[in-house]
Amino acid sequence: MPRYDSFLLVSFGGPEGPDEVIPFLENVTRGRGVPRERLEQVAEHYYRFGGVSPISQQCRDLLGAVEKDFAASGVDLPVYWGNRNADPLLTDTVATMAADGRRHAIAFVTSAYSCYSSCRQYLEDIDRARAAVPGAPRIDKLRQFFNHPGFIEPFADAARSAADSLPLSVLGTYDLVFTAHSIPEAMAGASGPTGGAYPRQLAEASRLIAERLGRGDSWRLAYQSRSGPPSVPWLGPDIGDCLTELAGSGSSAVVLVPVGFISDHMEVVFDLDVEAAGQAERLGLRLARAATPSTDPRFVTMITELVAERQDGLPPRALGDLGPTLGACGSGCCGAGTARPRVSS
């Protein structure tokens, strides 16, 4: 088993003040020809929250929790944090690691699933950062964890708590809807080593959570936060269309579970808590949204376990039918070179 000398948290990044919003969005969309007016529309989502994306503080909280769990578990690895699109930028962090004498790091990426944007692009980011830093450490990425108990169980408990918050009149009659970031259908088709991994993994995680709520055959998967041109087919149904359909079929309440996310960042607090919640109110639907795993102790311990899998040969844990994913991605996995879809986080 490889021996590591450091741990690296790799995330998307986000602005931490109003003056950072437009530069952040320009960085995210560089080379994609996104119109300025579209950036200004997305910027309003951030300004509603003071120009601050929640993701940065959530990364700090997660890193602190991981550091404590490492210490309690006897994992002697210093922790670092680098982002794709905002400070601390990944290249700067890799430079710090090199200056600290780190030679072989293990990286945890803040996405549970396989597709270009959530896996392959992070590998490219890591390679690009290493190429820019003389003496950069080798960096190995941990596997996907969409069906790990440390991801599924916190979501199941959060969904149960959300359902329990509904009025007694609708408590047993709610519809269960899982949401994830939409991506182009072509990207979804190329995801994973043999294609179709992203929607397949999302469906499996949703099914595992639903089973724990006694809803194994009664749930839906919808998509959100689309950011591409209308001419390009993206995964659906959109969460807005899903809510409209449910209301039209007589539904009285919905529990939303943002299974595509590990923390409550902008796609959750705006796209779900503001836009979807507002639509549900207009449709007369009671809506409760489940919390994401964030720093739930089971989720944090999962990260420690994933490190132990790679470093110490700990048997991998996975629920359901798909089993654990590979520890390393092949060169053709997840459609390398597919266009990036995201403009916010």
Closest CA to 287 of 257, 259, 254: 254
- Mean pLDDT is lowest, of 45-49, 257-261, 263-267, 332-336, for 332-336
Burial-class residue 76 by CB neighbours within 10 Å (0-12, 13-18, 19+).
exposed
Burial per residue of 139-168, b for 16 or more beta-carbon CB atoms within 10 angstroms, e otherwise: bbbbbbbbbbbbbbbbbbbbbbebbeebee
The predicted structure's pLDDT at residue 337: 44
pTM of the model: 0.94
149-289 — its CATH code? 3.40.50.1400
In DSSP terms, 254 is beta-bridged to: 175, 287
Domain ranges of the chain: 6-146+296-312, 149-289
The predicted structure's pLDDT at residue 345: 57
pLDDT of 131 > 80? The answer is yes
Mean per-residue pLDDT, 66-70: 98
- Residue partners of 334: CB distance under 8 A and separation at least 6: 114, 115, 116, 119, 120, 190, 191, 192, 197
Q: How does pLDDT run across 241-296, given as a tens digit for each residue?
A: 999 999 999 999 999 999 999 999 999 999 999 999 999 999 999 999 999 999 99
Query: Identical fold at 6-146+296-312 and 149-289?
Result: yes
DSSP character at residue 237: -
Which amino acid makes up residue 45?
Answer: H
- At 337, is the secondary structure helix, strand, or coil? coil
Tokens of 321: 């039918």
pLDDT of 338 > 70? The answer is no
- The whole-angstrom separation of Cα 97 and Cα 200 is 36
The 10 Å Cβ neighbour count of residue 229 is 10
- The whole-angstrom separation of Cα 22 and Cα 39 is 7
The predicted structure's pLDDT at residue 342: 53
pLDDT of 306 > 90? The answer is yes
The predicted structure's pLDDT at residue 326: 75
Where does the pLDDT of residue 343 fall: very low under 50, low under 70, confident under 90, or very high at 90 and above?
A: very low
Cis peptide before 199 (omega within 30 of 0): no
Fold of 6-146+296-312: Rossmann fold (3.40.50)
Mean residue pLDDT across the chain: 93
Q: How does pLDDT run across 14-36, given as a tens digit for each residue?
A: 999 999 999 999 988 887 778 88
Mean per-residue pLDDT, 128-140: 97
In the block, tokens 């996104």 appear at 34
Q: Own/partner pairs for 230-236, CB < 8 Å, 24+ apart?
A: 232/184, 232/186, 233/184, 233/185, 233/186, 234/182, 234/183, 234/184, 234/185, 234/341, 235/182, 235/183, 235/184, 235/185, 235/188, 235/198, 235/199, 236/182
Rg (CA), the chain: 20
Closest CA to 105 of 192, 5, 18, 204: 5
pLDDT of 299 > 80? The answer is yes
- The whole-angstrom separation of Cα 286 and Cα 275 is 14
Where does the pLDDT of residue 1 fall: very low under 50, low under 70, confident under 90, or very high at 90 and above?
A: low
Percent of the chain past pLDDT 70, that is, above it, reads 97
The predicted structure's pLDDT at residue 334: 85
DSSP character at residue 39: H
Cis peptide before 23 (omega within 30 of 0): no
- The whole-angstrom separation of Cα 188 and Cα 186 is 5
